[in-house]
Amino acid sequence: MRLPDSGFDTVAAFYDALARLVYGPALRQAQQAALDAGLPAGTGRVLVIGGGTGWVLGEVLRRSPPARIVYLEASPRMLARSQAWLHQYLPQHLAQVEFRLGTEAALRPHEQFDVVLTFFFLDLFEPGRLRAIVARLRSGLAPAGVWLLADFAAPHRWWHHILLWLMYRFFGLSTGISARQRPPIEAALRWAGLTAAPAGRSFGGMVEASVWR
């Protein structure tokens, strides 16, 4: 039985290459900016949800070597690629990362995280599902925790609209994501009681990073 949100199995083999082809280094730069602005060096528990092929693990562990990470991914192939990445590049940190297959429903009732990472993840969902995901992740964020966001900004130039339309069309057909346009990510996070601090923009203002508390 196919898991919900597991459609990225179909693009796992070429996802990183496609992202670089279209956006160059901008997506990775946004993730690095969010981590630089909001990841404490002595971080304890970190949740990475929808982390893709695993590259971000190295960025988290480089900045906070003692971090304990739950890497939650709905795509079995993406999860396997993340595991392979860690085995190849950072085998000394294997014991610090729990790879968990599933959606936000796979989080345990009383789990608490010092940091939640949603990098190019919340943009995949229609508004109702987005709000449900944000509510579930918010309940797992420790009282003094931080939520790091890197994602596509609300479009404000004509070419932003075109590129986002093409992106949603492609991923809608290839992976079955529920969003048909960029959802109101910031409104959902504010609804959950969080406040943003900007951490940078790139790719002509189309990609942005922020820290939410």
Domain residue extents for the chain: 7-212
Do β-strands 113-119 and 45-49 pair in parallel, antiparallel, or remain unpaired? parallel
The structure tokens listed for 199 are 């951490």
Question: Is the alpha carbon torsion for 204, 160, 209, 193 positive or negative?
Answer: positive
pLDDT beneath 50, residues of the chain: 1
How many angstroms separate the CA atoms of 164 and 155, rounded? 8
Tokens 């529920």 belong to which residue? 178
Select from 36, 37, 98 the least CA-distant residue to 67.
98
Predicted TM-score (pTM) of the model is 0.96
At 76 the pLDDT is 95
Three-class DSSP category at 160: helix
Select from 29, 108, 26 the least CA-distant residue to 72.
108
At 2 the pLDDT is 52
Please tell me the chain's helix, strand, coil percentages from 3-state DSSP, rounded to the nearest 5. Answer: 45, 25, 30
At 4 the pLDDT is 63
- Which strands, in side-by-side order, build the sheet including 68-73? 97-101, 68-73, 45-49, 113-119, 141-152, 207-212, 196-202
In CATH, the number for domain 7-212 is 3.40.50.150
Cβ atoms < 10 Å from Cβ of 52: 25
Three-class DSSP category at 149: strand
Tokens 């992976």 belong to which residue? 175
At 1 the pLDDT is 44
At 3 the pLDDT is 55
* Distance spanning both ends of the chain, measured CA to CA: 37
pLDDT, tens digit, 9 for 90 and up, residues 135-184: 999 999 999 999 999 999 999 999 999 999 999 999 999 999 999 999 99
